Chain A
Amino acid sequence: MITLNLYYREDDHLRRLMLDDGEAKELDRLWDELLFIAQEPLELEDVYEQMLGYASQDRPDLVKSFTPLKPAIVGRAEAFRKRLAEVEPRHVDGVVAFARQAFRRPLVPEEESRLRTLYDTLRKKEVPHEDAIRAMLAHVLVAPDFLYKIETAGPGTEAKPVSDHELATRLSYFLWSSMPDAELLAAAETGRLHDPEVLKSQARRMLAAPASRRLAEEFGTQWLHVHGFSTLDEKNAELFPTFAGLRADMEEETVRFLEDFFRNDRSILSLIDADHTFLNERLAKHYGIAGVTGDAWRRVDGVRKHGRGGILGLAATLSTQAGASRTSPILRGNWLYETILGEKLPKPPKDVPQLAETVPSGLSERQLISMHSENAACAKCHRRIDPFGFALEEFDAIGRLRTTDAAGKPLDTKATLPDGATLDGQASVRAYLLGARRDQFVRVFCRKLLGYALGRGVQLSDQPLLDEMAARLAAADYRISVAIDAILASPQFRMIRGREAADDAT
């Protein structure tokens, strides 16, 4: 049996029994829209012609029954062709509107005409409509205005405020790592975004939105050096068979902890001394914390006693700053000293022998490190970093609490810093960072956040702003919104240097 129907619409029962008038109308509209993809009226006409051709050869009887169908089929195809031609300009308009979104600003007249000319030129060369539309889209997507955050600089060397649209882009890429949404663009459109209050309230709205998770994902993980942790493949699978299956959870904990920090306007100090974290059952088990069941993530309080809460208790940071088969007090200490406290160490001397990947028998891990660090040339730096690492030795190479080291020797987590402070375990590091080093920790955090917000290295000329941030934070419980507001209000964030200003950023 041969049928002429290419597509069937079988939704009578659905329509009759389930849908109200509005829904039925929507269903009709969707079917109609599908025509543009299926091109069914044209296909049907084509099939009809072929069948007729076949029938006319040896089935005159069929020709007879086919012929009366012709006017309807051809007429429908004609009408559809007309509709296709009618909507062509709307597709072109659609791409122009898309370009506005992609460029994150209104188009200047030349840009719009360039885009339309591209279409017209191609059509004149007999390129079909759809291909010409594709070419327009390709043009938008390879245009530098889409690929780069382009800002118009003023003449000379003098700085000037960026435009409202440019400001919207700066804000959006800072908080969301993505383009402005409709509401932010609308605020820019009205020309009021540069009003400090408007900017601030947009920032509040954006921090509360789900997209602010990307501030944790991008800034947060880069700051802690755990970006892309879920793909970290540097553990000895024989010693740590569970690690590969936990990596994604470890990264997720880090992101959720920081997301909560930004979204709920927490204290910068809580990054060190929080008593909560975010867990699912797998990770809770890894940490030895009872009472968390199922895959779902939840906030868990009272975790400090398990060594959790804050960046010093994250499996992601503890594992990253460790070796494949054993911990590395040197890596952890160096991370704290350079990344968290922003200190600089000279490069290690050349030709330092590598430490054994596994601890030679008879030695504790700490003894192995000490032998290495006692070398006079090395000691200068190691006495500044190793104590932090020794204090954190209560965590193994994948971040679990432990009581003996990988060589089976008892742990020794006591250490003395060059300033005389004594450390013993993670709690003492927390206390030290928030005591003697509080201002330094906060300031380094602010410096990293500022650099991320501006998308450039922080310079000497930024010091007054960092001073101001520090002062305002101390007076406001170190809430993160205070630091963000200070950045948003700064000339660094709101202005652009003149075209002829020197191009070296450092």
Chain B
Amino acid sequence: MSPQLSRRTVLSRRTMLRGLGVSMALPWMESLTAAGEPAVAGAAAATPPVRLAVLFAGNGFHSKEWWAKGSGKEMELGKVLEPVADFREKMLFVKGLYNEEARKGNIHSSQTGNLLSGAPLASGGEIRSGTSFDQHLAQTYGRGTKVPSLVLGCEKSNPSVHKNYSMLYSSHISWSSPTTPTPLELYPALAFDRLFKDESHAGDASVLDAVLETADDLRRRISRADRRKLDEYFDSVRDVEARIEAAGKKGELQGWRPAVEKPDIPRPADGIPQDIAEHMRLMCDILVLAFQTDTTRIVTLKLNNDHSALRFPNLKASSGTGGIDYMIHHLLSHSDNADWLTVNRFFTEQLAHVARRLDAIQDGERTALDNSMVLFCSSMLTGNHNNEQLPVVMLGRAGGGIETGRVLDYSGKSDRQMCRLYLSLMAKMGVREKTFGDASAPLEEV
């Protein structure tokens, strides 16, 4: 039986199941055998990959309602985390981690741009942070998939300056290099295209070749300071070139075949959805789809900016009249009132949505959630800029690599750097670094 034919058989079977109203993704094992592929060398090679999703919410959480205690089924959760209560056995609640460099500027922008890197931030007109751990993974582990990583956002980047720090720091947690915030995709349709559209124009490669031809000549003519800037530019051109070359290739390394090969949701409409709930939901669905199709294994979703200006007409205000749109997210965070709690829960509902969907995907012997690490975090514990410790919740077991249903408490301990967590998470994906940011050892407990 030719592979093409058998693949068609699989598809028609899936189609048939749909036709019967059964919404069921084919387990990967089944699709693998049915496709008649040659046996994969070694069982380990067919293990589903570990994926990382980072969900960021700006401005912290309600001061009284972010907590967890107990373990396993008996774990109790604060009101902010109630929406993810169903997943408490797959949860790791980490308390007491902090980011030393983020404590230096004492304001939103200076607390966020280095959340995922632990790097010092430059103030004044300069933009300098550090490569974030998700992008470090994208540049290593991420090379194995068609798209190294997907960086999504639901609030546009803010280019102004606040208290002598660029607000770009409040808008970007992913950094491809110390001076390059990773471009954010705000448009659901374009994020979708980034995953599934392979179109490149006939002349694209030649256009870039012609640009790169000028590099040597140009470098000779200009000053040292300009050379540095120009090198960054040429690096980005080479990056695009590599992307064009990779277009059309599939992430089928390790002999693993994703359960779903084609998007099973339609391409979202162009433009940014006016309704924030719809915007977040679409981005969450795209995140799930990216994992499900194995187009990328690393997704960072910034639900809003730190110092966010989002409003929530979709949520009911506690006053009983109207939505929570009388104040922007940032101002609300300082009020710490009932509406702030409602907004917090709206954010954790997004996390719950991602978890629920991933957990419904059979992925080898486990669910896709079991094979993933979904990190939910903010750059401060409460709206009052308090980042003495950071709020951290993880869902998923990294393919069995993480023991969940636990609360880890590092408060009061030395060496409680957030970057130690990143060392641990990177190791789960096989990227073992000796140091990262201000940390030189992973968290043993994770």
Contacts and interface: CB of A to CB of B under 8 A. Distances in A.
Given A150-B222, A357-B334, A122 B201 contact: no
Contacts of B208: 142
A501 B207 contact: no
Contacts of B221: 150, 152-153, 499
A376 interface: no
Among A125, A132, A238, A347, chain B packs the most CB atoms within 10 A around the CB of A347
Contact of A501 (B161, B217, B223, B234): B223
B161 A503 contact: no
B309 A233 contact: yes
B20 interface: no
Contacts of A117: 210
A121 interface: yes
A72 interface: no
B222 A236 contact: no
A144 interface: yes
A194 B237 CA distance: 35
Q: Determine the interface band of chain B, counting residues with CB < 8 A from chain A.
A: 35 or more
A122 B230 contact: no
B122 to A, nearest CB: 12
Contacts of A354: 334, 384-385
Given A236-B327, A502-B224, A135 B106 contact: no
Nearest to A111: B214
Contacts, number: 118
Contact of A148 (B211, B229, B309, B385): B229
A34 interface: no
Contact of B230 (A111, A134, A138, A144): A144
B224 A503 contact: yes
A504 B224 CA distance: 9
Interface residues of A, number: 51
B106 A347 contact: yes
Contacts of B213: 114
A421 interface: no
Contacts of A227: 160-161
Contacts of B327: 236-238, 324
B223 to A, nearest CB: 4
B146 interface: no
Secondary structure of the A contact surface, majority rule? loop
B430 to A, nearest CB: 35
A324 B331 contact: yes
Contact of B328 (A121, A144, A150, A234): A234
A348 B202 contact: no
B206 interface: yes
Given A139-B207, A357-B335, A496 B223 contact: yes
Interface of A: 110-111, 114-115, 117-118, 121-122, 125, 127, 131-132, 134-135, 138-139, 142-145, 147-148, 150-153, 225, 227-228, 233-234, 236-238, 324, 347-348, 350, 354, 357, 457, 496-505
Given A131-B202, A135-B204, A153-B226, 6 more contacts: A122-B203, A151-B226, A153-B223, A228-B159, A236-B331, A503-B227
Nearest 6 interchain pairs by C-beta:
A135-B203, A503-B224, A503-B225, A153-B223, A233-B309, A152-B221
16 contacts: A118-B210, A131-B202, A135-B201, A135-B204, A142-B237, A144-B214, A144-B233, A145-B218, A150-B222, A153-B226, A233-B328, A238-B327, A457-B125, A499-B221, A499-B224, A502-B224
Interface of B: 103, 106, 125, 159-161, 201-204, 206-208, 210-211, 213-214, 217-218, 221-230, 233-234, 237, 309, 326-328, 330-331, 334-335, 384-385
